[in-house]
Amino acid sequence: MKKIIFSLGIAFAMFFSAQVMSAQQTTQELPTLTSKAYASMKKDDVYVVIFSAVYCGPCRLAKQELFPELIKKYVLDKNVHFYVLDIEKDEAAPDGTFLKDRWGVEFLPTFVVAYNDAVMYLKTGYSSDQVSDLKKELVNKINSLK
């Protein structure tokens, strides 16, 4: 009996650690952006940016639940780019500005769709129950700009 319980415990621990690793890999593989890097990018593409921070739980959820699906949907579209901008790791653009200030980001997470260096869509907040609606809004806005 002890061997069965021990084996079940080991199996559970392996499953749980695999789930945690998978979630970490998903968020780690997302492309990152800084204000400095954006300053040198081509502006006539569509940029979808989630403003985030390590301490932000809803940000982590969005990066796990929403962004991978969207990236997968537009993987072949070379004019649509997805990024995570961690406000705590951001580097100022050469002119000293930060995207969060230029684009009016005040809360986390905030989703921005930018085109020609202008904010075309901005939405603040995230919860798992709104993933479908938010995904539709983002897809509609992205498709309208392509």
The answer to whether the beta carbons of residues 128 and 64 sit under 8 Å apart is no
pLDDT of residue 31: 95
Locate 20 and state its tokens.
Answer: 């945690």
Q: What is the pLDDT of residues 34-50, one digit of tens each?
A: 999 999 999 999 999 99
* Average pLDDT estimate for 116-137: 96
pLDDT of residue 29: 79
State yes or no: pLDDT of 2 exceeds 80: no
Cα–Cα distances in angstroms (integers) from residue 61 to residues 22, 137, 144, in the given order: 13, 18, 26
Strand locations in the chain, DSSP E?
46-52, 80-86, 110-115, 118-124
pLDDT of residue 20: 38
pLDDT of residue 44: 93
pTM of the model: 0.79
Q: What is the pLDDT of residues 71-112, one digit of tens each?
A: 999 999 999 999 999 999 999 999 999 999 999 999 999 999
Looking at every residue in the chain, the average pLDDT score rounds to: 86
Note the CATH architecture for domain 31-145: 3-Layer(aba) Sandwich (3.40)
Q: What is the pLDDT of residues 14-30, one digit of tens each?
A: 444 434 333 333 445 79
